[in-house]
Amino acid sequence: MRPILMKGHERPLTFLKYNRDGDLLFSCAKDHTPTVWYADNGDRLGTYRGHNGAVWSCDVSRHSTRLITGSADQTAKLWDVKTGKELFTFRFDAPARSVDLAIGDHLAVITTDSFMGNMPTAQVKRIAEDLQEQTEESALVISGITGRINRAVWGPGNRTIITAGEDATIRIWDSETGKLLKESDKEVGHQKAISSLSKSLDWSHFLTGSLDKSAKLWDARTLTLIKTYVTERPVNAVDISPTLDHVVIGGGQDAMNVTMTDRRAGKFEAKFFHKILEEEIGGVKGHFGPINALAFNPDGRSFSSGGEDGYVRLHHFDPEYFNIKM
């Protein structure tokens, strides 16, 4: 499985997202410029210029017409996927971190960091079909969480919003009223900050990665812990295979603790675990720094990783991968 190396970012990667059809891959990095690539051969298609801070995350509409991005420049922006044109800017009084579009693409949940005395929030924005009608108003603001919210995503049927972050707690909120419905159990939950969260294809369960060196699989409705995957390094990125019972987990220590001498010293590999058996299946090495982003292609035949080293590595699985017997 020879990776395709995609060099378009000048700073560490922060997020990767495939479109629904799996033919485009969107990448975000600390260099202000989200980029779109052909997911098959890794050719760069174009960039989205307009942010002037690190871009922390993105999401793309079902029909790949619009892209939404969240940035440290205290804005979230809507873009035309095809032309790269900036369509609308949501302004906040703090950095915007996580963005996630609801089913139907008429709503987005955007998180803001604590900043200059402002507490972190998760805000729901209506996304208008007609840009003339687009406003910056929030339909809902969820607050009262201490510590940064690293991810906020829509739950099954858009009925809930799931948040996770620095305080190591996962919370499920009513997306209409903003009422807190459930919190993860401190005993079975993560013990350190949650860095990442990824939903299954049918939204019935989701996977979280934490600096406590584990990833955990949860039921999206009941918040019951289903499985735990233990690694020997802090986890920065996770994803669930759309076709097989596999999960992929990546991380490594943060840049301050890394020696640049030996590529293996930092153990920078994407590790694959069996989703049900919780056993490690294998790993893919290659990044020269921690892995900050991971994504499976929706067809399950390839995956990509984004690193602190500024590279996106695209891997098409070998036929053997589909016949792994446990």
Residue 158 pLDDT greater than 80, yes or no = yes
Using an 8 Å Cβ cutoff, are 127 and 134 in contact? yes
Residue 254 pLDDT greater than 90, yes or no = no
Q: How confident is the model at residue 288 (pLDDT cuts 50, 70, 90)?
A: confident
Q: How confident is the model at residue 292 (pLDDT cuts 50, 70, 90)?
A: very high
Please choose, from the candidates 30, 46, 49, 28, the residue with its C-alpha nearest in 3D space to the C-alpha of residue 38.
46
Residue 262 pLDDT greater than 70, yes or no = no
**Which pLDDT does position 326 carry in this prediction?**
74
Task: Tell me the average pLDDT across 109-118.
Answer: 92
Task: Tell me the average pLDDT across 130-158.
Answer: 95
Q: How confident is the model at residue 268 (pLDDT cuts 50, 70, 90)?
A: confident
Q: What one-character-per-residue DSSP string does 23-60 give?
A: SEEEEEETTS--EEEETTT--EEEE-----S-EEEEEE
The tens digit of pLDDT for each residue in 26-66 reads: 999 999 999 999 999 999 999 999 999 999 999 999 999 99
Q: Which tokens belong to 25?
A: 């891959």
Residue 117 pLDDT greater than 50, yes or no = yes
**Which pLDDT does position 257 carry in this prediction?**
57
The whole-angstrom separation of Cα 78 and Cα 80 is 7
Using an 8 Å Cβ cutoff, are 50 and 86 in contact? yes
CA distances from 89 to 22, 28, 85, 109, 110 (A): 27, 17, 12, 14, 12
Residue boundaries of the structural domains of the chain: 1-321
Mean pLDDT of the chain: 94
The superfamily CATH assigns to domain 1-321 is: YVTN repeat-like/Quinoprotein amine dehydrogenase (2.130.10.10)
The tens digit of pLDDT for each residue in 303-319 reads: 999 999 999 999 999 99
Q: How confident is the model at residue 266 (pLDDT cuts 50, 70, 90)?
A: very low
The whole-angstrom separation of Cα 4 and Cα 210 is 28
User: Counting Cβ atoms within 10 Å, is residue 18 exposed (0-12), middle (13-18) or buried (19+)?
Assistant: buried
